[in-house]
A and B are shown apart, each in its own frame.
Chain A
Amino acid sequence: MIDISLTVNGERVSACVLPRTHLVDFLREELCLTGAHLGCEHGVCGACTVRLDGEIVRGCLVLAVQADGSVVETVEGLSDSGEIADLQQAFIDRNALQCGFCTPGMLIASQDLLKAGGVPSREEIREHLSGNYCRCTGYHAIVDAVEATAKAREAAR
């Protein structure tokens, strides 16, 4: 067992973990932050996407011990801070989620693109989100929601 200390959604967390524990399992099972989902557990589907020191990572490809000393943000944290409130509302307005299982990862990946500023083209949005699988929507509505958010943010700039 290894001691780790990290900041999760603004709270300092100290824990003792098995070296093999994945970050996403640590978040879900130890911290009960179940917004990051397990879709494939081999780094393909993007359902476990979280932010680690500002960069998006797959929680199933990062070990909890690798997050020692880091800042981790999950969909719960981004929701509580209000950082993605407009994007979440755009997803709701556009019905850009059906079962919702991919949605936390999809939102975090979308925000990663939107943070760069400007209004990305639909092709750029599609490309950026190609590491996040959605089996329900067919992606069109997701692209619409991200595009609408980009335009609204640009207009408010």
Chain B
Amino acid sequence: MSTLSPVDLPNSYIGRSVARPGLARLTQGRGEYVSDLALPRMLQVVFLRSPYAHAEIVAIDTSDALKMPGVVRIVTGRELAEHCTPWVGVLTHLKGLKSAPQHALAVDHVQWQGEPVVAILARSRAEAEDASDRVYVEYREIDPVVEMFSAAEPGATPIHADLGDNIAFERRLDAGDVDAAAAASDHVISQRFVFGRHTGVTLEARSIVADWNRAEQRLTVHLGNQAPHMIQNIVAKHLALEEQQVRVLTHDVGGSFGIKVHIYPDEMAVCALARMLGRPVKFFADRLESFVSDIHARDHVLDGRIGVKNDGTITFFEIDDITGIGPFSVYPRTSAVEANQVVNLTGGNYAVPNYRARTRVVFQNKTPTCQYRAVGHPIACSVTEGLVDLAARAIGMDVVEIRRRNLVPDDAYPCSGPSGIRFEALSHQASLEKLLQMMDLPALHADQEEARRRGVHRGIGFASFIEITNPGPAFYGVGGAKISSQDGATVKLDASGAVTVQSSISEQGQGSAAIIAQVTATALGVPLARVRVILGDTDNTPYGGGTWASRGAGIGGEAAFQAGRALRDNILKLAGTILQADPTSLDIRAGSVVDEVDGRERLPLSELARIAYFRPDTLPADFQSELMATRHFVPREYGFAFTNGIQASYLEVDTETGFIRLLKHWVVEDCGQPINPQLVDEQVRGGVVQGLGAALFEQCRYDDQGQMINANMADYLVPMAGEMPDIEVGHIITPTKESAIGAKGAGEAGTAGAAACVANAVNDALAPFGVVITEIPLTPEVVLNALRHV
């Protein structure tokens, strides 16, 4: 490896905010999303979904529907089950996790409102929708299990009789000595925290086109998705195909955020239907069915406890968590990971060894939940930071000061958190100080006081956080799921001297292609414009995990960097042969081979490629050029590259209406070496706003019969431009030593801490009223109830 750090290399694009490739295409409406795709002979499928949260299917009558114009085929769960085997969403390392077999279309029973029951295939979507009105399904309703505490009660009716009860998973952790720490505390504070259930609302709903070619015996799956190789594996497995009979292409993906990284029954049905009919089948979810069929997330209630001494020392954290996950653990990543993360992460930013936790993951008849951006992080962060503020209040200490005293010191690394998570190097203290520089706290306090005198209630809230990035096999691979944690890149110098990179990570708009291009151009020493990136096609990329859990830059980027360095070595060997020079005396800069010492151009890469490809006869007989190199990478030393940061919110609470107006938001985060600082900032900002949506607006509201009552975009509120503040982003840079490029992830930092600092700011604003709110979303109703104005 070069002794120069990547950022110091000549012509480095690492650390530079260059524009992403492909953006002109998207701004001109020339994106190619799966929802845009139309293939010859393609059929559209519409799914009739269960109107009940829990019912037995008594009979299905499709005879009238089959007579409707344009209808080609109608398929029920029983018929489809002969073509697609069911699955069970468990992982062996989550000990005790259980779930029931789940079919692509419901067989005999429906378990949530929105579960697909019948597939109607027609020449157009409108015709299929018309026909779906004429499919008659007779149901026998069963009392739904909706509320998670009662679902968890001993003796509660189990949703799946075979499983015995509704507890899918339970984990306990006890570190240090919480009881002794509590006894030694001057104050012990208990507080319940409530986190609403929300969902991702990708602007492009889930869309898939599956195409079975009978002649080639091959299924091509066009699917807006984050993990194409995972999809390939699972589609093949449940359709009884070899993996090489399945090709998955992602195309442009209209937003994902973790929504499009799971196995959905309707998408599996589309693959099976395409094979049954031998022609392309398209499903593009409409927004109403997205709300009840996309995975939901969060839906946790935690009882938290914290101990503190009068000098500000935090003595322990304790949480008792419960979460409702719907009727199935989602395949293959499972629905126990969020709860597991809550246990892993809570209190992890503080030097507090005493920690006790329990989580219970409970089945219920609602839409399944699974991993969505910042899995578990907003919950762990909100509980931790909410408790810290309450501790500060109990002893009359400033909320910044209590953090300064208790956050893990920057010189303590490497070290471990109380749950056993290992930290290579974090920067909590430096991040806090940087944040304070950015926000001018004395001026804010003065403004707050001045507003208070006018009867206007403004608040300042802080939230320090840790973020899991660059996961190794500990997430899924060790539990038996075939979800790769390593990624690969192949870098090729073509005959014109241009460069193509094929990478196994995928793009959903975060800038994966840009990152791959930047590190490759840097590793090779070529202009960025000479690099083309290919992603999202299992036929044309190395095998790898894809893009999720903030891993694309740190893992996929390092693979591309190493592949670029390997190709550079090959090029220099060839150049040395051509120039009769020692390869170590040469370098590649700006697309030409140069003398390493004085930078004098010796050979443009276009000329080198011409010789290699067209005049190899001029090279020595025993020399074979290799102008394509592949490398793979997975971090080995640490299971995860933890990152850290801190956020702050300034806001105003209208105590008459309960409305919250966000005035400003600040973030300092440390993702190691940023490859493209602009992209990092925009990941942070976008993540913050998703967290603010959860904090203020977003909630899947259910009635006591398990019916989602706001399953449309007018009633389910997401953040709009007019409600969001400007967001200032700053950085501390602590590169990971696990890789040459030193990059950690940045995609989930914003979401991790946004709700926590907003809640703390609301409580700061409402401090004169003696009100503490620890429930999100912080709707006007919640605020007014707390103020007892309702």
Chain A contact residues, CB within 8 Å of chain B: 18, 20, 28-29, 33-42, 44-45, 47, 74-76, 79, 88, 91-93, 95, 97-104, 107, 122-123, 125-127, 129-143
User: Between A and B, how many residue pairs show CB distances below 8 Å?
Assistant: 176
CB–CB A45/B713 < 8 A: yes
Which one of B253, B509, B678 has the highest number of Cβ atoms from chain A below 10 Å of its Cβ? Answer: B509
A142 B286 Cβ-Cβ under 8 A: no
User: Which of chain A's residues have a CB closer than 8 A to the CB of B256?
Assistant: 99
Q: Considering the chains assembled together, what is the distance between the CA atoms of A127 and B252 in angstroms?
A: 29
> Which among A20, A98, A126, A132 has the highest number of chain B CB atoms within 10 Å?
A98
Q: Is there an interface contact between A98 and B24, defined as CB atoms closer than 8 Å?
A: no
Give the distance in Å from the alpha carbon of A130 to the alpha carbon of B720 in the complex: 5
Q: A76-B29, A79-B29, A99-B203 are in contact. Are A88 and B24 (CB under 8 A)?
A: yes
Please give, as numbers and ranges, the residues of chain B lying within 8 Å of A135 by CB-CB distance. Answer: 200-203, 255, 257, 686, 690, 718
Q: Which residues of A contact B723 (CB under 8 A)?
A: 130
B33: chain A residues within 8 A (beta carbon): 34, 37, 101
User: Smallest Cβ distance from A38 to chain B, in angstroms?
Assistant: 7
B33, B201, B204, most chain A CB atoms within 10 A: B204
Contact of B19 among A40, A92, A133, A136 (CB under 8 A): A92
B721 within 8 A of A: yes
Pair B254/A99 contact, Cβ less than 8 Å: yes
| Complex interface: chain A residues within 8 A of B286 (CB) | 41
> How far, in angstroms, from A132 to B721 measured CA to CA in the complex?
8
Chain B positions within 8 Å of A141 at CB level: 682, 685
Among all A-B residue pairs, the 5 with the closest Cβ atoms: A35-B29, A100-B26, A98-B509, A99-B509, A101-B254
CA distance A132 to B722 in the complex (A): 10
Task: Decide if B29 touches A42 in the complex (CB within 8 Å).
Answer: no
A138 touches B727 (CB 8 A): yes
User: Which residues in chain B, 726-765, are within 8 Å of chain A measured between CB atoms?
Assistant: 726-727, 750
CB distance from B757 to the nearest CB of A (A): 15
Return chain B residues, CB-CB under 8 Å to A140.
685, 724, 726-727
Q: B residues near A, CB below 8 A? A: 19-20, 23-24, 26-31, 33, 35-36, 38, 126, 200-205, 252-257, 284, 286-288, 508-511, 678-679, 682, 685-690, 712-714, 718-724, 726-727, 750
Partner of A34, one of B27, B29, B687, B720: B29
- State A140–B682 Cα separation when bound (angstroms): 9
The complex places the Cα of A18 from the Cα of B127 at a distance, in Å, of: 12
From B30, B287, B727, contact of A41 by CB (8 A): B287
Could you tell me if B29 and A33 are in contact, using CB atoms closer than 8 angstroms? yes
Q: Are B688 and A138 in touch, CB under 8 angstroms?
A: yes
Q: Identify A133's interface contact among B203, B511, B688, CB under 8 A.
A: B203
Residues of chain A with a CB closer than 8 A to B254's CB: 37, 99-101
Distance in angstroms between the alpha carbons of A47 and B713 in the assembled complex: 13
CB distance from A37 to the nearest CB of B (A): 7
CB distance from B662 to the nearest CB of A (A): 11
Residue numbers in A under 8 Å from B750 (CB-CB): 138
CB pair A139 B257 closer than 8 Å: no
Which residue of B has the minimal Cβ distance to A32?
Answer: B38
CB-based contact B27/A99 at 8 Å: no
Q: Are A93 and B19 in contact (CB under 8 A)?
A: yes
Residues from chain A with Cβ under 8 Å of B287 in the complex: 39-42, 45
B126 neighbours in A (Cβ, 8 Å): 18, 20
| Complex alpha-carbon distance, A74 and B30, angstroms | 12
Within 8 Å by CB of B682, from A98, A100, A123, A127, lies: A98
Tell me which residues across on chain A come within 8 A of B200, comparing CB atoms.
135
Give 24 pairs: A residue, B residue, CB < 8 Å, sorted on A. A18-B126, A28-B36, A40-B712, A41-B286, A79-B27, A88-B24, A91-B23, A91-B27, A97-B26, A98-B510, A101-B203, A101-B204, A101-B255, A125-B721, A126-B721, A130-B721, A130-B723, A133-B713, A134-B721, A135-B203, A135-B255, A135-B718, A139-B719, A140-B724
C-alpha spacing A33/B750, complex, angstroms: 35
Measured between C-beta atoms, what is the minimum distance from B771 to chain A in Å?
29
Known: A98-B509, A135-B718. A45 touches B23 (CB 8 A): no
Q: How far is the CA of A130 from the CA of B26 in the complex (A)?
A: 21
CB of B102, distance to nearest CB on chain A (Å): 27
